Amino acid sequence: MKIQLSDSALKPAPLRESLEPAPLPTVEGGFQTVLADPPWRFANRTGKVAPEHRRLDRYSTMELDDIKALPVAKHTAKNAHLYLWVPNAMLPDGLAVMEAWGFRYISHIIWAKRRKDGGPDGRGVGFYFRNVTEILLFGVKGSMRTLPPARSQVNMIESRKREHSRKPDEQYPLIESCSPGPLLEMFARHAQPGWVAWGDESGDEAPRGAASKGYAGGAIERPGMDVPELAKYERIPDVEADALAADLHDMYERLGFSIRDIAAETGFTIARVRALLDRAGADIRPRGAVRVLQAQGQ
């Protein structure tokens, strides 16, 4: 028996309708710092992890031209900073938006998504690589340096993931210490003290959506180790040296620490760190090489 399906049954469920954005807020003299996390529209809008997939129905997205058309330049000061979140696969689009808004690219901050033990969280998605990072582009309009605390601020945030698309809370104190107010957050997930929030969810007291299992945030608990206090040329007994070498090997190979990072963490000289890694049989990376970390046990 052949079953005849109606035309409506053959059509996929409709995607969310695009919403007309509300006018941007204004302040006298314009905002000096803008943080934006646009609802980027991926080419595959019906993929199983796409924001508009009918199973998820997370939020509406915007066409690239519509994001570029937002009058950010008119609402910012003559000299201003822009922090713009962009997915790895859409980096060229992010740079195009930055230019359309009147900013020039200067640098970026990487959000490294971590597991509870500090290793890379390999539960990300991607067609070519498993993404465990996101990019926060930094641009300048006019001429304005970052504030003095930025001189010692590294361009990386390490934290655990939470609700879908929610960015790390660590971004706020970082930006507040490096860039002046007034502060505007575009496409805000919830209201933030000291910021003017704009977006569909900007009036919420907390981000919408439940965190999936294993995505509740929380502190990173790196494996601890007992580091002996040693004089510069003091010899470590063999048994202690073997145990210490194994710990450093774990930091170097699994967690991706550099030799310089390990020296800073332990207080050892670089020469001692190298000797202990050699003792543990570590495959020493060339200086300056980029290590591609693979999540363990995922």
Span 242-264, pLDDT tens digits:
888 888 888 888 877 888 888 88
Report whether pLDDT(27) > 90.
yes
The radius of gyration of the chain's CA atoms, rounded to the nearest angstrom, is 23
CATH class label, 20-198: alpha beta
The answer to whether residues 11 and 46 touch, using CB atoms and an 8 Å cutoff, is no
Report whether pLDDT(53) > 50.
no
The answer to whether residues 139 and 82 touch, using CB atoms and an 8 Å cutoff, is yes
Average pLDDT over residues 50-76: 77
CA nearest to 108, candidates 87, 129, 77: 87
Please write the tens of the pLDDT for every residue from 213-241. 555 555 656 555 666 677 767 788 888 88
pLDDT value at position 203?
55
Backbone dihedral angles phi then psi of residue 240, each to the nearest 5 degrees: -65, -40
What residue ranges do the domains of the chain occupy? 20-198, 223-285+293-298
109 or 3: whose pLDDT is higher?
A: 109
- pLDDT winner (highest mean) among 30-39, 120-129, 280-289: 30-39
CA nearest to 62, candidates 99, 100, 17, 96: 17
Please name every residue paired with 133 in a beta bridge, in sequence order, or none if there are none.
Answer: 112
pLDDT value at position 76?
97
pLDDT value at position 186?
95
Q: Note whether 20-198 and 223-285+293-298 share their fold.
A: no
The answer to whether residues 256 and 263 touch, using CB atoms and an 8 Å cutoff, is no
4 in the Ramachandran plot: left (φ > 0), alpha (ψ -120 to 50) or beta? beta
Please write the tens of the pLDDT for every residue from 95-105. 999 999 999 99
> At 286, is the pLDDT very low, low, confident or very high (cuts 50, 70, 90)?
confident
Question: Within 13 Å, how many C-alpha atoms sit on residue 16's CB side?
Answer: 20
Query: Which residues are CB-contacts of 288 (< 8 A; sequence separation ≥ 6)?
Result: none
Q: How far, in Å, CA of 20 to CA of 184, rounded?
A: 19
Average pLDDT over residues 196-216: 60
Average pLDDT over residues 123-143: 87
Averaged pLDDT score across all residues of the chain: 78
CATH class label, 223-285+293-298: mainly alpha
Q: How far, in Å, CA of 122 to CA of 114, rounded?
A: 8
Q: What are the DSSP E strand ranges found in the chain?
A: 31-36, 76-86, 104-113, 133-141, 156-159, 183-186, 196-198
> At 19, is the pLDDT very low, low, confident or very high (cuts 50, 70, 90)?
low
Q: E strand or H helix at 250, and its extent?
A: helix 238-253
Weakest mean pLDDT among 11-15, 47-51, 111-115, 277-281: 11-15
133 or 255: whose pLDDT is higher?
A: 133
Please name every residue paired with 198 in a beta bridge, in sequence order, or none if there are none.
Answer: 186
pLDDT value at position 220?
58
**DSSP tag of 200:** T
CA nearest to 160, candidates 207, 205, 112: 112
Please write the tens of the pLDDT for every residue from 139-189. 999 999 999 999 889 899 888 776 666 788 899 999 999 999 999 999 998
The answer to whether residues 277 and 245 touch, using CB atoms and an 8 Å cutoff, is yes
